[in-house]
Amino acid sequence: MEPVEVLGANDQNLRSIRGFFPGLNIIARGDTVRVIGKEEDIDLFAERFEQLIQHVLRYNELPRKVLDDIMGGAPDGGGLPDEADVLVHGNAGLRVKARTRNQQRLVEAVGTHDMVFAVGPAGTGKTYTAVALAVRALKEKQVRRIILTRPAVEAGENLGFLPGDLREKLDPYLQPLYDALKDMIPAGRLAEHLETGVIQIAPLAFMRGRTLDHAFVILDEAQNATLGQLKMFLTRMGRSAKFVITGDLTQVDLPRHLPSGLQKAIAMLHSVDGIAVIELDEKDVIRHELVTRVLVAFREMEEGEGNVEAS
């Protein structure tokens, strides 16, 4: 095995690994890794680095999500997640699980409620966790199909100017949903599910008039739906269905004359029996650490502008 397979091209993985062990001085030279620091930290590093090596030997690749899972361990400081915590065993050995307390709350809420709203900023794993729960429900035959939908508001009036047929025009707006599925389902099986309709990905407007039963249904980017569109979607719920609605109330892309319906819908429905609302925040961000800093900076700026207006 070549060191680059673990350390990454131009030591990209090594830089990430160092971030998980700031108390250690980790030096890579050729096929040798030298570590300087406290003995207990070195022991933990050695254990997890060996897990990286074993993963590469078994799967011949090391996705970033796997590296983060192994080197970061569980939120309580443990190593790899217990099998009971894993939602889906994805491709290339990826173990998909809740990685923060609020993500775990989302998992628990979906287990006890048929309709769940999950709101929070970008990068908090709302959609990814919801898709993992949907894939698990399908694999365990709790549902017969997965339906993923998004408002295609970014297209707006310019949709007709994009090349291709309707699906080709809309696919770019649905790509994040495809990306999540590709992590969790082998390519051949995913293509088969999409072809047979076991998994359906479509714009929100295509939900009108349907009854969605025996399905795990996810409405993503729900902040870009009007209240009328949300009412249309929520009333599609059929028998033996799970609905998860995700959104970020700070990133509304609707035209100014169309207010988002998500906040109003949550205010109306949060106390309805059978409906849960889970809020995620900057502490749940699992992308690059700079994403958390960016979100905090934007929040502080917006709060400052609000105080100026109030005065």
Report the mean per-residue pLDDT for the chain: 84
- Residue scoring higher pLDDT (24 or 2): 24
Asked if residues 247 and 223 have their Cβ atoms less than 8 Å apart, the reply is yes
pLDDT at res. 91: 81
What's the whole-number mean pLDDT along residues 110-121? 96
Phi and psi torsions of 224, nearest 5°: -95, 20
pLDDT at res. 306: 63
pLDDT at res. 257: 81
pLDDT at res. 81: 46
Q: How confident is the model at residue 30 (pLDDT cuts 50, 70, 90)?
A: confident
Using CB atoms within 10 A of its CB, is residue 102 exposed (0-12), middle (13-18) or buried (19+)?
buried
Task: From 91, 88, 68, select the one nearest 20 (Cα to Cα).
Answer: 68
pLDDT at res. 311: 41
Using CB atoms within 10 A of its CB, is residue 210 exposed (0-12), middle (13-18) or buried (19+)?
middle
pLDDT at res. 11: 84
Q: 17-20, long-range: CB within 8 Å, 24+ apart, which pairs?
A: 17/49, 17/52, 17/67, 17/71, 19/289, 20/71, 20/72
The DSSP call for residue 153 is: T
Asked if residues 233 and 165 have their Cβ atoms less than 8 Å apart, the reply is no
Using CB atoms within 10 A of its CB, is residue 311 exposed (0-12), middle (13-18) or buried (19+)?
exposed
Phi and psi torsions of 48, nearest 5°: -75, -35
Chosen CATH of 101-306 out of 3.40.50.720, 3.40.50.300, 3.90.1520.10, 3.40.605.10: 3.40.50.300
Using CB atoms within 10 A of its CB, is residue 127 exposed (0-12), middle (13-18) or buried (19+)?
buried
pLDDT at res. 294: 80
Both tokens assigned to 106: 């989302």
Asked if residues 149 and 219 have their Cβ atoms less than 8 Å apart, the reply is yes
Residue the block writes with tokens 């990454």: 8
DSSP string, 202-259: EEGGGGTT--B-SEEEEE-SGGGS-HHHHHHHHTTB-TT-EEEEEE-TT---S-TTS-
What's the whole-number mean pLDDT along residues 259-285? 92
pLDDT per residue as tens digits for the range 128-146: 999 999 999 999 999 999 9
Asked if residues 73 and 67 have their Cβ atoms less than 8 Å apart, the reply is no
Checking if the pLDDT of 29 tops 60, the result is yes
Q: How confident is the model at residue 154 (pLDDT cuts 50, 70, 90)?
A: low
Residue 37: left (phi > 0), alpha (psi -120 to 50), or beta?
left
Q: How confident is the model at residue 20 (pLDDT cuts 50, 70, 90)?
A: confident
Q: How confident is the model at residue 233 (pLDDT cuts 50, 70, 90)?
A: very high
Residue 158 CA to residue 154 CA, distance in Å, equals 9
Global confidence as pTM = 0.73
In this prediction, what percent of the chain has a pLDDT beyond 90?
44
CATH 1.10.10 is right for the domain spanning 4-80: no
Residue 15: left (phi > 0), alpha (psi -120 to 50), or beta?
alpha
28-37, 175-184, 243-252: which has the highest mean pLDDT?
243-252
Checking if the pLDDT of 309 tops 60, the result is no
Q: Find all residues with CB under 8 Å of 7, minimum gap 6, and list them.
A: 13, 14, 28
Checking if the pLDDT of 240 tops 90, the result is yes
